[in-house]
């Protein structure tokens, strides 16, 4: 029985899914299942995926839900996963041929560590020119997400394989009418309770598409302001360093204003009054600037 589910939320990504499927077929270890959660695609994703459901190399399951954003697709999927490990792989990315083997190797070494919530690996660029996040100073580091990634300055995406039961403890917050939420909202919450193992091994290949979330992040944020406030609050209540606390407090005010709250209300309900007082004025300037830019389109 497989210990790993490769989970792919998808929205109008039929073409990208083909490359991911081919990379799964190329795995040296096919003891896994592939769970595709279609977040209300309007293209022919469902028809395209049906040809893979009967795949004999590994199990493929497909579900379609109403469009609500990637984070809602992740929440939707968690009660459909029975394996102890879940690997979130985006529909426009793909894996190295040894990815599953590497995951199982590390899992066999550390699965008994009760304070672990997952294993983290590197992502590489398609042309092999480098990693999306810098390698760690040394391999096989045991630390929290906040301490290693945020405070350690390791910006950029990594490839996290989560212990399913630990991830279930921290569902993604959902807000009516909002379809975007930074995944690190949950990663920093998990960091308050569990650690991870970080490895300098690339198992994931990322191609950022021009129509993807990365390019349009600020616009997505403004259109989902309550989720951004929740993310800011998660960072403010975590053990991130002061620089990130300041950035999060600024975002708390900025997106709080986009959510329709007054500065007075936001100040009154802030987690750290002293830091809130320091950040309120610069946040007001940034909010005004971004609002004008957003309204211009």
Pairing of strands 59-64, 33-38: parallel
Are 228 and 184 within 8 A, CB to CB? no
Give φ, ψ of 119 to 5 degrees. Answer: -125, 135
The tokens describing 223, both together, are 């259109």
Q: Which residues pair with 124 in a beta bridge?
A: 131, 205
**pTM for this predicted structure:** 0.93
- Alpha carbon distance 220, 184 (integer Å): 15
The confidence score (pLDDT) of residue 216 equals 74
The confidence score (pLDDT) of residue 208 equals 61
Mean pLDDT by 10 residues, the chain (297 residues): 95 88 97 96 89 91 96 96 97 96 98 98 92 92 97 93 98 96 97 98 81 67 97 97 98 98 96 95 97 87
Give φ, ψ of 184 to 5 degrees. Answer: -70, -10
Per residue, what are the HEC states of the chain? CCCEEEEEEECCCHHHHHHHHHHHHCCCCCCCEEEEEECCCCCCHHHHHHHHHCCCCCEEEEEECCCCCHHHHHHHHHCCCCCCEEEECCCCCEECCCHHHHHHHHHHHHCCCCCEEEEEEEEECCCCCCECCCCCCCCCEEECHHHHHHCCCCCCCCEEEEEHHHHHCCCCCCCCCCCCCCCHHHHHHHHCCCEEEEEEEEEEECCCCCCCCCCCHHHHHHHCHHHHHHHHHHHHCCCCCHHHHHHHHHHHHHHHHHCCCCHHHHHHCCCCHHHHHHHHHHHHHHHHHHHHHHHHC
């Amino acid at each position: 029985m497989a210990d790993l589910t490769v989970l792919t939320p998808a929205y109008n990504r039929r073409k990208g899914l083909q490359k991911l499927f081919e990379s799964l077929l190329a795995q040296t270890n096919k003891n896994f299942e592939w769970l595709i959660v279609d977040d209300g695609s309007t293209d022919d994703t469902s028809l395209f995926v049906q040809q893979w459901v009967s795949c004999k190399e590994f199990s493929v399951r497909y579900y379609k839900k109403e469009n609500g954003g990637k984070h809602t697709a992740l929440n939707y999927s968690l009660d459909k996963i029975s394996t102890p490990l879940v690997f979130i792989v985006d529909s426009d990315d793909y894996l190295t041929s040894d990815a599953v083997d590497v995951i199982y190797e590390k899992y066999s070494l550390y699965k008994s560590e009760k304070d672990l919530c997952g294993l983290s690996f590197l992502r590489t660029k398609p042309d092999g020119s480098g990693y999306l996040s810098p390698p760690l100073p040394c391999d096989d580091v045991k630390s929290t997400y906040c301490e290693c990634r945020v405070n350690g300055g390791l910006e950029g995406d990594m490839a996290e394989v989560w212990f399913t039961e630990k991830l279930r403890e921290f569902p993604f917050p959902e807000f009516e009418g909002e379809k975007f939420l930074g995944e690190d909202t949950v990663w920093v919450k998990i960091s308050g309770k569990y650690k991870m193992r970080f490895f300098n091994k690339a198992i994931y290949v990322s191609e950022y598409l021009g129509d993807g979330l990365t390019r349009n992040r600020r616009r997505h944020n403004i259109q989902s302001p309550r989720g951004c406030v929740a993310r800011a609050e998660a960072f403010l209540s975590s053990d991130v360093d002061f620089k990130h606390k300041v950035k999060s407090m600024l975002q708390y005010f900025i997106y709080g204003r986009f959510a329709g709250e007054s500065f007075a209300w936001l100040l009154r309900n802030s987690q750290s009054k002293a830091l809130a007082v320091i950040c309120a004025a610069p946040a007001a300037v940034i909010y005004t600037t971004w609002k004008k830019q957003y309204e211009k389109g």
